[in-house]
Structure 1
């Protein structure tokens, strides 16, 4: 039995449990207290999942916060807008407080490269202070060095992989990236931090999906999330040659035989539609047009600035 942190609450009259590793939201099979809870991950995985559009609530289930655009790598499939101006430290503290108190179940700190933030552990602790489950998404380059300080502050780490070996992964992310990411995952797992591998499904990488799942098992990760490519940011330049349609993405992931202890899922563009992102400029953004674009809504000043129209979350 593996026990780890999840977040539980009742939104729109529906009891929910959010998994910070898989980013999935479940409907619990028994009564639970609310807030951050230690639960058996096998029990949670057996509960049915639900999506934002199936629950009538204005609160996003989970939010991605990208407080910086800086990164030590230059991946051609990157989603970020590198022209944005980064907010300063005081503004980051303000945003962390708003996210912590807005009522969302999960907060993921991403980038750019999240581990370039010196105060990342403090920001994670602030975000978790009112009951949310917190994670960070990283390319893994600095994870081995920072795993010790992250372990007390984070509920899960998501590490990006574009292949199961140095040749395939480094083709996209640069020399040494694979070895650094592997060392980082091993360091986090050794400290009992749940790790989820993230792999973008592209025409050039999809044939290695099974090997990525096998790598997850070898490294002790709890699972793999295969992400349908979003033609956003630098990734727009690859869309014509690398995007995979919905049916093929589902077929590829369905063909993956999950190793023991590893849960495999596909995050479709449909699930990414309407997802809430707070970017480095302090504005609230949402994925639109089938998650083929992202648009700003307004600056994040109050918790209500994160709210969705209830009609977006009320389709059963």
Structure 2
């Protein structure tokens, strides 16, 4: 049995439980207190999942916050818009407070590379102050150095990998990046932070999916999320050569053998549609058109700025 942190809330009269490692939202089969909850992950994994488009909720199930565009790596499939300005520290704190109070179940700090932020610990503590489960998505380069500092405020960490070894991963992210990512993942596991590996499904990398799953087991990670490539940001330049259809990606991931304790999921472009991101400029963005683009909606000044129009809810 592995007990770890989840978040529970009643949205649209439905009791939901969010997993900060897998980013999956589950329907709770029985009553639970709302807020952050220590639950058996094996039990939660048996509960049915629900997609954002199936339930009309005033706020998204989970929100990604990318407070910076800076990164120590230059990955060609990066989704970020590096032309956006970055807000200063006081503005980051303001946004963290709004996100903490918006009523969502899960908040993830991404980037750019979020571990470049000196105020990362302060931001994580603020995000977790009102019941949401808090995670971080990182390339892992600085994770070993900062794992002990951040562990008390992290419910999960997602480490991005493009291959199961240095030769395949470093081709995309640069020399030494695999070694640093693996060391970071091991350090997080040692601090008892649940680790989820993230891998983008591309034509050049899909054949290594099983090896990434096996590596997750070796590292003590709780699972692997395979992400369908989105033609956004720098990734738009690779789309024609590297994008895989949802159907082909599903066949690849369905064929994988997951060791005990490792949960494997595919986030298709269909599931990524409508996903909410707050970017470095403080604007609220949402994926559209089958997650093939991302559009700015408004400046984040109030929790209501994150609300999902009712017309977007319960699409079947």
Instruction: Tell me how far apart the structure 2 counterparts of residues 124 and 167 of structure 1 sit (CA, whole Å).
Output: 33
| Uncovered stretches (5+) of structure 2, i.e. residues with no partner | none
Q: Which residue of 1 aligns with 2:4?
A: 4
Find the aligned partners of 1:289 and 1:210 in 2 and give their Cα distance: 30
Provide Cα deviations, 1:260-311, integer angstroms capped at 9, x if missing partner. 1100000000010010000000000000111001110010011000000122
2:120 aligned partner: 120
Check if 1:187 corresponds to 2:151. no
| TM superposition shift of 1:94 | 0.4
The aligned residue for residue 311 of structure 2 is: 311
Runs of 4+ in 1 over 4 A off after TM superposition: none
CA distance in 1, matches of 2:59, 2:309: 9
Query: The residue matched to 1:196 in structure 2 has which SS?
Result: strand
Normalised TM-score (structure 1): 0.99
Structure 1 position 139 matched with structure 2 position 145: no
Matched ranges for 1:143-182 at <5 A: 143-182=143-182
Q: Cα distance, 1:314 vs. partner? A: 2.0
Q: For each residue in 1:137-160, what CA deviation from the matched residue of structure 2 results, as whole angstroms up to 9, or x when unmatched?
A: 000000000000010011000000
Deviation at 1:246, TM superposition (A): 1.0
Residues 132-187 of structure 1 show CA distances to partners (whole Å, capped at 9, x for unaligned) of 00000000000000000010011000000000000000000000000000000000
- TM normalised by structure 2 equals 0.99
* Counterpart contact for 1:66–1:110, Cα < 8 Å: yes
Matched residue SS, 1:50:
coil
- Spell out the pairing of 1:17-166 with structure 2 (5 A cutoff): 17-166=17-166
Per-residue deviation at 1:20? 0.3
| CA–CA distance in structure 1, aligned partners of residues 117 and 66 of structure 2 | 11
Report the aligned-residue RMSD.
Answer: 0.6
Contact 1:8-1:32 at 8 Å conserved across structures: yes
Deviations 1:50-88 (A, max 9, x none): 011111212100000000000000000000000000000
Distance across 2 between alignment mates of 1:313 and 1:194: 31
Q: Deviations over 1:24-74 (max 9, x none)?
A: 000012210000000000000000000111112121000000000000000
Contiguous gaps of at least 5 residues in structure 1: none
How many pairs were matched up? 316
* 3-state SS, counterpart of residue 104 of structure 2: coil
State how far apart, in whole Å, the 1-side matches of 2:93 and 2:193 are. 24
